[in-house]
Amino acid sequence: MNWGGWAEFWAMGGKGFYVWGSYAVTFACLAIEIVLLRRRTREAKA
């Protein structure tokens, strides 16, 4: 286990902005693609 608690986990040794900025944008991009694919599937079926 690497972390003394949640605060330490989110701080990422002071590099939280870079680490979470990477992960947040990555998963947001994937989520947007999934939403767009769902919409396209719905429209293609119609």
Partner 1 sequence: MSTSMKWFWFASPQTFFPLAGTLARWSGVLAVLLALAGLYVGFFVAPTDAQQGEAYRIIFIHVPAAWMSMFLYVVMAFWAAIGLAFNTRLSGMMASAIAPTGALFTFIALWTGSLWGRPTWGAYWVWDARLTSELILLFLYLGFMALQAAIDDPRRADRAGAVLAIVGVVNVPIIYYSVKWWNTLHQGASVSLTRAPSMASTMLTGMLLMALAFWAYSIAASLVRVRCIIRERE
Contacts of 9 (CB under 8 A, 6+ apart): 3
CB of 34 to partner 1, least distance (A): 8
Distance CA 15, CA 9 (A): 11
CB of 37 to partner 1, least distance (A): 5
Q: Which residues bind partner 1 (CB under 8 A)?
A: 1-3, 9, 12-15, 17-19, 21-23, 25-26, 29-30, 33-34, 37, 40-41, 44-45
Q: Which is nearer to partner 1, 5 or 14 (CB)?
A: 14
Instruction: Tell me the two tokens of residue 11.
Output: 């701080």
